[in-house]
Structure 1
């Protein structure tokens, strides 16, 4: 550490300092000698003061100097090796008891906050080292010393302040006037210069000032800092680019000049403002040097060259355009498929392309410089007048057809099309003629061929049109891709029954209003012909519903396909359509019939299953009781019960077979009626009494109410069957405790039978099918309901009597009403005692005597079934007959001579010889004595019965036969035989 006495002293070197200037002692406290040198140079450059400068490198040394010498002011670095600014200030205050010399701190940017703290502790001022200028330091020191002097004089001798103040104020006023004048001159110069000027007062260029033109170019106001090196919060919003890339702040011209200490010249930059506009600037920058040749800032000049750059760009574009046009012209001349040339006003060739040289038959080189007549003497008389016309009038001549010969093909006539255009200068003076020539020889030949082809095509078109008009389908042709209709035949109009839509595009198809099979309307692009036109789809047999012009509905089957040219491009589409409504109706009917057939087959299958069930049920009872009676001995009541069960189930099976036979006759149409006047009231009364025991056994109340009605013409047996079937149906479906009401009335020309019950009723869905064959209500599949044939048979028989039967029901559980209406006997029909047809026996079966009615009657019984044969023989013998049995026809013929039967009972279906053949043999053996014969067979039906009668049998009995019925038939046959007796 230096002693106070050894502190270096620097005297002023500025000779311009006045001898009357005040002298002040300044202590410089800085550990860096280079910074002390800078401070000394800045202060000694002040011409308004005389400074004695003392130097110290530490706080301790500075305090010792202050103890031994008078100090007017202290300039101290904020960060000393042995103390910081506030600590040094506190030690100084303690040493002088508050009356210390004024202190000015020099601090870095990072220490600014601490410097502010030092001011609060009593420092006069602080300066930032990085931006410190000589003027700032000089002013700060003069201010600190002046403030301190005024304080001292005011405290001690107020009367001494006036002369000092006058001297200082006078000196300062002189300096201020001089400085103000110089600054004003400089500012005026800067403002009027036609270039942008920017000045940075520090080497880092963190703060920049600029003139008005520069602010205008940068789009900033006077208060804004224009430096891109400023802190982020202060930076302006414009951007700087060079060659399309944004420039970093350190690479800007002024920053480079300040950093490198060099002049930057002719650097072009682009300024992009926030509003999207930009300017091109030519920039210059140079560093500002201090007294010690240090860089203290930089100044930059910026010339707005935006307009110049635009002009340069336009010139470049024009030059490029001219070069491009020239290249295009050269390219056109080189590649044009037509002949091109230029003649001057003397008709000399100046330019010609290869194509025209080929047409002329002369090389390009042999054209240039020669006249039209020299090159084409054969055509000169034709061509020269055309050139002269264009040159003299300045008007073009277009599309002149020329015919002649050239050297290219001597003695060959060719054709050309030529056009002539004048070339003029800026004064509208003709400089020459541009000629365009096209050889059209082949074109004219092709045109002639095309005309011939068009004539042929027209013939074929007419042929095609006439062919399409003869087609039985509607035909339409539309062009691609618009869908515009080109053709339609007359059949199309006849099918649509309105004119075709002639819109320019397929969007007009919406007017047709066709529907898809599911009812959706066709969109214009969905029509088959539109799809063929637009996407080339082939449509086959697409069905669409259509309302024709007369309002009728129909169905069209539509086909469509694209029409392509030889290159495969779609040029049109053709569509054909035909009315398939009748075919659709047939298909619907066929589908309906098929469904009905399937339903019938299904019903028949169900019916077969029911038949099997209905056959097995009584057979089970018959078979069971029969085996029990065969293997065991029962008491009389049990035996009687078994026999009754067997008889009852046998009758059930007989009725079942009869119903099946009736259905078979109904299907084949062979069911016949034996018509006679019939008292329907008696038929109904017998039927009611027949079923009454069954109804009462079930707990049903059966009532009958009838009027006296006139006879009807009908089959007694079949009418009784109708009533019994309806009553059986009512009893079956009426639960215990129910009621059944039978009413017979007459009105006008018909009688009406109504049977009402309080039974289970009829499902509304099944009601329309109540009389169908093979149909039953399937609501309850677990209940035994029989075959369900009774109602179908009843309806068929009623209609055969020219009547009607209907069924009504309010629903399930609401009972049912069946109504039969039959016409009365028409006048002129036979009386009641004159039947139109009888069954072949009239004897009342109930009138058979209790004794043996067949006593001593010899019966020849023939059947190939032993069980049936034995049963019939037993029955006949029980009634007193003498029976001889035979199992076939030969055996019967052998027994015939010695047995001499009174009557023959024969089965029809037997092996070797059937019953018909047996009867023929019998008639041949005894031609004088015709033995009566009865056919006893399982074959039923009117046709079978008629066949038996034609063969010679007196009667036709269907197995199984009740004993009484068999006895009655035998007695009737013998009674009518004149040989018996």
Structure 2
């Protein structure tokens, strides 16, 4: 009845050939299976489908009588549509799952307790150059090589013992073309009784990531080394270097030299624009007046966006000490070209300014010494000319009066005295130390004033011959150099002799 409900079978259809019936099954092999069953007298089964997409398990077996004679074939149909649909859904699910696992950038596999692959996704083709289906049933050591297997074997044993294992390291596999850095996780597969049937392996190739991390680590080390070198350079620099971390220059940092210049701790904020500016004891002056924070070099560089250089600042401390600084400041820009702060270099020029003042004083002293030297040379040149006149007079007398009445001894003594005077002045000229110090001392000796006046008269005898005057006997002594006294009287007597010519006869002719 069920069969009749499935497809119509009229009474007249009995005895007709199967090929003459309107058969609802897609079963072209039925006649062949019947003939084969009659020949071999064995059971034959086949899954067939109907026109309405139903599935049946069709069996063909011999029909035997009581005397075991085969009189025909019995065909049975069992509806397996639900099971078949389940199998189809399962296969579709498996295909879908495989497509998902093949699309993942992860090597996914299932390994049984014997260490053999039972499932592999398409990444095995990319890694090892073999089809995933060819890997199934093969041992892990055969696929990845003995070297790499020796490294992961302890982890596989942990996974097969029911413990999740994870590792990340470099593995050298001949089939994979060399060393790879992999991150792997082995997840055990346990049944309801807690027995481990195998494990799932999720392996990710992190070679590029590891290389990038190693490159970043090298870059970090290089940057750290550069920072250390820069910090050492800043600490060793003999000038103060300051950095402003914001456009308003409210947050600043400095090197050790800068902290020493301003007498603040190295970790303090030295900004006069900051919130703790009132705690800074120093004051900043320029050209005699105190500067407000916005006019300081670093603040101006950040505000104007250009370099401020060559500005001299005077730092005043509460104890009265002062410091002169030559400043240079430049702005700092971010990636967008906006000012993000500034940097300043401050050089202590206090000692330089003191040296410049000393140099100016020394210059003035040298100019004064040079002036005194010129005055001395002018005086010495004048004094050198004075003894020449008596000598010239004595030579004149010796040359013009060769008579026996000429006192040759007197002339010789006068020439000797004047030559001695010349020698003494030449010695003074050669005494460089006395010229530098401007201390030209006079040798003081006691001489009768009458003798000195006589020398003066002798010196100007040629000019005074036309005058008749005499000097009285003077006993007072003079305590200055005879040459200087003679020089003084040498300047006075010609005037006296000239005045004598116009002096009335009633006046005394004596000096």
Q: TM-score of the superposition, structure 1-length normalised? A: 0.21
Name which one, 1 or 2, has greater alpha-carbon Rg.
1
The TM-score normalised by the length of structure 2 is 0.38
